[in-house]
Amino acid sequence: MKIALIGYGKMGHEVERVCLRRGHQVVCIVDVENVADMDGDVFRSADVAIEFSAPCASHGLVRHAMEKGVKVVSGTTGWFAQHEAEMRALCEQGGTLFWSSNYSVGVQMFRACNRFLARLMNDFPGYRVSMEETHHVHKLDAPSGTALTLRDDILDELARVADIDIESRREGEVPGIHTVRYESEADALILTHTAKNRSGFALGAVLAAEYAAGHQGLLTMADLLPWLAGK
């Protein structure tokens, strides 16, 4: 499969390593200094573009790639919610965007556990729910997109809760730690996912690209991992 990379920071380099390890060809690398390459034939020859850039740039880059007829896997958080309607419209016109706040398969397992526990807690009002997340100091959005997704999953399942405050920390080079805590007078239940490095995120993004290459529309991790949707 031919892959274009949009954004060539630490995640872009890790995605490139995973692509090559899985036998894919990286045909084009777009970064700050050569965005105009997205208008060229080499970029348009890609089966899928994988985008990890910055929240301030992501929307324009994703839209530009889709308008060039290239399918996109976007891993940048902090931009999708305000542009979801536009992205859906582009997909209805024939474009393809695979979007997730987190591409780690381990995080998706964590999400499934999180939803299940929230559902159980409907019958146990003595437990108070709280959340916290920690990331590296370079991460621009806070709370993280993953934390917001975990929060929304809880709110979908736990009817007695209207909102949840999320404590965000930015420390050193931490890849990502997310914790959901339920605490009562008797005990505490704590779910935590700790990323050791960026490799899990990169692998998930490449798996998403492999899926997107054969599918059309607005795609999510629930399409790639049907058990997320209870299928």
Residues noted as catalytic: 135, 139
Q: Which two tokens stand for residue 103?
A: 């591409």
C-alpha Rg value of the chain to the nearest Å: 18
Give 129's contacts (C-beta < 8 A, 6+ positions apart).
118, 121, 154, 158, 161, 164, 180, 181, 182
- DSSP three-state, residue 133: strand
Instruction: Give the residue from 81, 203, 77 showing the smallest Cα distance to 147.
Output: 77
Q: For tokens 């393809």, what's the residue?
A: 96
